[in-house]
C-alpha cells in the first residue's frame, strides 16, 4: 500500500515542505499518461502493479490513461480499486460516421472516468486548435466525463516572455462558453512543452508555482474566486521520483501528470507517495 512506505524528500528544497503544504486543501491528483506505449501484456502487468501498490490508500487521487485498445482490459483490472481509468483523447460527437474516432459514450462504456484533452502532442503534432479542444471539453463534460485540460507554452514563447499570454489564450479559448458549474469536473495540467519527454528539463518548482498561479488567477477572473480555489492544477513535464516532492510541495501545485515515469510501476508509485501530505482536508476529486 502506498501509505506504508515512508516519504523521502529527494530534491533540494526539503526545508519548505510543511509550511507551504499546510495551506493547500485540494487533494493531490496524480495521473499516468501512457501515451502510445505498452503492449496488452505490459499494460495488464503495469495496471496490476499500480493497483497493488496503491492498495486502499486514498490520500492521493490516482488515475491511469492507457491507449484506446487497452482501456477495457485495464478497466477490468482497476475495478474495485482506488485507481481510476482515463482516456487520452476523444472525438466530440456521440456517434456517427467518423472513421477511426472514439466517442465520449464509448469511453464511459468501458469504464473511463477521465479524459485528457488539449495535450501538447495533439496541439503541436496533430494540429488541434483551441476551438476544437473547446468543443471536446464541452461534449466530454456534458457526457459525464471528468476532463484534464492540458495547457503550456513552448520554449520560444517562454523566451519571448509570452508564457502568461499563451496560458491566458489557451484558457479563454479552450473554456469559452462553459459555466463554472460545468467546470466543477475539470482539472488543468500545466505542461510546458519544453519540459515534456524526460530530456532532463523539468520546470523548476518555482517556475511551476508561478505558472500555476497565473492559471488560477486567470481562471478566477473567468469563473470566480470560489471556482478558482477548488480548481486542481497539476504539473506535467519530466516528473520523476527525484523531483516529485519538490514540485508537489509547492503551494498551488495540486498533482502531476506523468508520461515516461508512469510506465514504470515503482517510479509511478514513488511519485504518488510524494503527493501524500498529512494531515489534510480531503476535497472532492476534480
Chain residues binding ligand PGA by CB under 6 A are 33, 191, 196-198, 236-239, 257-261
Closest distance to ligand PGA from the beta carbon of 177 (Å): 26
Residue located via cell numbers 489564450: 169
- Strands, E assignment, the chain: 29-33, 61-65, 83-87, 114-117, 146-151, 186-190, 233-236, 255-258
Task: Examine the residue annotation and report whether 119 is marked as an active-site residue of this protein.
Answer: yes
Q: Which residue is nearest to ligand PGA (CB)?
A: 259
Closest distance to ligand PGA from the beta carbon of 181 (Å): 27
- Backbone dihedral angles phi then psi of residue 284, each to the nearest 5 degrees: -75, 155
| Active-site option among 121, 128, 153, 191 | 191
By beta-carbon proximity to ligand PGA, the closer residue of 102 and 203 is 203
Residue 45: other Cβ atoms inside 10 A: 14
By beta-carbon proximity to ligand PGA, the closer residue of 187 and 238 is 238
End-to-end CA distance of the chain: 23
Task: Examine the residue annotation and report whether 185 is marked as an active-site residue of this protein.
Answer: no
By beta-carbon proximity to ligand PGA, the closer residue of 134 and 243 is 243
| Active-site option among 119, 121, 202, 212 | 119
**H/E stretch holding 120:** helix 120-125
By beta-carbon proximity to ligand PGA, the closer residue of 227 and 265 is 265
Closest distance to ligand PGA from the beta carbon of 193 (Å): 9
Supply the residues annotated as catalytic. Answer: 119, 191
Amino acid at each position: 500500500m502506498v501509505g506504508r512506505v515512508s516519504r523521502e524528500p529527494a530534491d533540494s528544497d526539503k526545508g519548505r515542505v510543511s509550511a507551504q503544504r499546510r495551506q493547500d486543501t485540494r487533494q493531490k491528483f496524480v495521473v499516468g499518461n501512457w501515451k502510445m506505449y505498452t503492449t496488452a501484456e505490459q499494460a495488464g502487468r503495469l495496471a496490476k502493479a499500480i493497483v497493488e501498490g496503491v492498495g486502499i490508500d486514498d490520500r492521493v487521487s490516482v488515475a491511469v490513461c492507457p491507449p484506446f485498445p487497452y482501456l477495457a482490459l485495464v478497466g477490468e483490472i482497476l475495478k474495485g480499486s482506488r485507481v481510476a481509468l482515463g482516456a487520452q483523447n476523444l472525438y466530440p460527437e456521440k456517434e456517427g460516421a467518423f472513421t477511426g474516432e472514439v466517442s465520449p459514450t464509448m469511453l464511459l462504456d468501458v469504464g473511463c472516468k477521465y479524459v485528457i484533452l488539449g495535450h501538447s502532442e495533439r496541439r503541436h503534432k496533430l494540429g488541434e486548435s483551441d476551438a476544437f479542444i473547446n468543443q471536446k471539453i464541452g461534449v466530454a463534460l456534458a457526457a459525464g466525463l471528468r476532463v484534464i485540460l492540458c495547457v503550456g507554452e513552448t520554449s520560444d514563447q517562454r523566451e519571448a516572455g509570452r508564457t502568461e499570454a499563451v496560458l491566458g489564450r489557451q484558457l479563454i479559448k479552450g473554456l469559452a462558453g462553459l459555466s463554472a458549474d460545468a467546470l466543477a469536473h475539470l482539472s488543468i495540467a500545466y505542461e510546458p512543452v519544453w519540459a515534456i519527454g524526460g530530456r532532463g528539463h523539468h520546470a523548476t518548482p518555482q517556475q511551476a508555482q508561478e505558472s500555476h498561479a497565473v492559471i488560477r488567477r486567470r481562471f478566477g477572473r473567468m469563473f470566480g474566486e470560489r471556482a478558482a480555489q477548488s480548481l486542481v492544477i497539476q504539473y506535467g513535464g519530466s516528473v520523476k521520483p527525484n523531483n516529485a516532492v519538490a514540485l508537489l510541495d509547492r503551494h498551488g501545485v495540486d498533482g502531476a501528470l506523468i508520461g515516461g515515469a508512469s510506465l514504470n510501476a515503482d517510479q509511478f508509485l514513488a511519485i504518488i507517495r510524494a503527493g501524500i501530505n498529512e494531515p489534510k482536508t480531503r476535497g472532492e476529486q476534480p
